[in-house]
Every structure is written in structure tokens, then in C-alpha cells.
Amino acid sequence: MELGKNIAKYRKERNLTQARLADMLGVSFQAVSKWENGNSMPDILLLPKLAAVLNVSCDILIGHYPAVFSSPYDELYQSPEYYWGTQPTTLSMKVLSFYPPMSSPSLLDIGCREGQNVLFFGRNGYRATGVDVSEAGIKKAQLLAENWHVRAEFICASIENYLPRHNFDIVFCDDMLHLLPPDSRLQLLKECKKFTQPGGIHVMNVPVEKPFLTYKYGIQKAYPWHSGELFTIYYDWEILEGGETGKMPMGHGGEERIYNYLVARKREGKGI
């Protein structure tokens, strides 16, 4: 099923119809449809050509996310100390307020760093999954989970390539989306909206540009958001709470930034 979902995902990203992909591979469009629906599998000898056409590796196409990614924070994460700390961030409290864990809801933390929010959610009864590009950060999160006896899943993958195995009730992202180029982050949020259960929520924030502030984003290239830009992506969802706030970025040092934040709910039977 994961292979089929990946074929559909990357086919659509390349703006290919099932018929066009079938022509490029020399198969019938019914075969492509069966792959995507999980009713059959492509021949193993066809996988390299299929991956090349879809512009991804065979590993990623079949759902294996090898830890070959690198992060500017990898070196900082080598320290036994936790660069981002181990306490949950203020934004994580919004999840408890708007989607309490009575039914053990599933939660995805995009860009989980060293795991402090994922572990907070896990300790409070959420079925939490954290994804981050840094293998060093993921290993520290796993170590902390073991020491605290917290059940949580951690995946080392580029969030731009990661495709969940199931839908989530909650998608959480704290101070990470400005690290993706505009086209990539828009595509990411569209995908996140699709695999969110009806009635589920998104809780996230992004630093926004202000003419009176000059930001220094540290060791990683950043692409700040415009005020209100985040809200336009959720035009078809119910905005439960949102606004503008100033805060110090996580980590060591840095000046105060201005953020847009939102809590949005997917409408039952509506929206993507």
C-alpha cells in the first residue's frame, strides 16, 4: 500500500496522468491504477525505470527513508546536552487545549528536532510520531524516550519526501516551516491537509517578515513568511485560534521574532 501511495504522490507532483505514466513505462493505465490502489505491484525490474520517471530514488519510492540526509544541526546534536532543551514549547499546549488526548489521538510532529514536544505528547496519551532530517537529533530523541519510558515513534527522513503510512488526527509544527522554500512548504502543507482525519487539527507557527525587524536565522538558510500567508492555506478549514505573537526562537541566543500561529480544524466532509 505504501508503494502505491508513493507512486500516486510523485506522479501527481510531476503532473502526470495515469495514462501518461503508463505510456512512459510501456504498461497499461489499468496497471498503474492497480498499483496506486494497492491491488497489484509493479514488476521489480520496472522499479528503477519507475523511480527515474518519478524523479525519486527506489528507496524512497518503496517507503524506505535511508538516514543519508544531513542537517546543519548535526554537529550541535553531538553534545550530550539537548540543544533545544527537553521541556515542551508553548505552542504544544495548544494541542492539549483544542484536542485533548481522551481517545489516544495520533499526532505527527514535523521537524521534531531532539524530540522534546513528541515526548511531551507521548507522556500525555497521544500516539506521537516525530520526523526530522537529522539522524543525530532522532537518536537523541530515541534515547530520551527510552530513559523516560515514553512510547513514541521517530523517523529520520526529509519531510519533503516523507509519506505517512496512515492518516493523523493532529499535525504539529513549531518554528520549522521557514526552512523550506515557498513551493516546497506549500506542497508539504497540502499533503498534510490530505492525510489529516476529518475533525483533526493542525497547530503550527511561522516567523513572518516585518519591515522594522532584521532577523538573523543562524546556521540554516531560511525563507520567512509574509503576514497572513499561513492563514490563506487554510481558507477551507475552520480557524479555531490564530494571530500574531512575539517570542524568542528556540535554542541558544537569537533575537525576538514575530510569528503567525494558528490552530485549524478540518471540516467534516469538506476541504482537502
| pLDDT value of residue 57 | 75
| pLDDT value of residue 21 | 93
Query: pLDDT tens for residues 184-234?
Result: 899 899 999 999 999 999 999 999 987 766 666 566 678 889 999 999 999
Q: In the predicted model, what is the mean pLDDT of residues 101-111? A: 95
> How many Cα neighbours within 13 Å face the side chain of 125?
9
In this structure, what are the phi and psi dihedrals at residue 229, rounded to the nearest 5 degrees?
A: -60, -40
| pLDDT value of residue 147 | 93
> What DSSP string describes 112-147?
-TTSHHHHHHHHTT-EEEEEES-HHHHHHHHHHHHH
Contact partners, residue 79, CB within 8 Å, separation at least 6: none
b/e 80-99 (16+ beta carbons within 10 angstroms → b): eebbbeeebbebbebbeeeb
Distance CA 50, CA 66 (A): 19
Distance CA 6, CA 20 (A): 17
Task: Please report which confidence band the pLDDT of residue 13 belongs to, taking 50, 70 and 90 as the band edges.
Answer: confident
| DSSP character at residue 262 | E
Distance CA 6, CA 56 (A): 10
Judge contact between 58 and 51, C-beta under 8 A. Answer: yes
Among 4-13, 106-115, 193-202, name the one with the lowest average pLDDT.
Answer: 4-13
| pLDDT value of residue 215 | 60
Distance CA 198, CA 65 (A): 28
Judge contact between 54 and 47, C-beta under 8 A. Answer: no
Angle at 120 between CA 2 and CA 200, to 5 degrees: 50
**Burial environment of residue 155 by CB neighbours within 10 A (0 to 12, 13 to 18, 19 or more):** middle
In this structure, what are the phi and psi dihedrals at residue 225, rounded to the nearest 5 degrees?
A: -90, 160
196-207, strands of its sheet edge to edge: 153-156, 127-132, 106-110, 168-174, 196-207, 257-265, 238-247
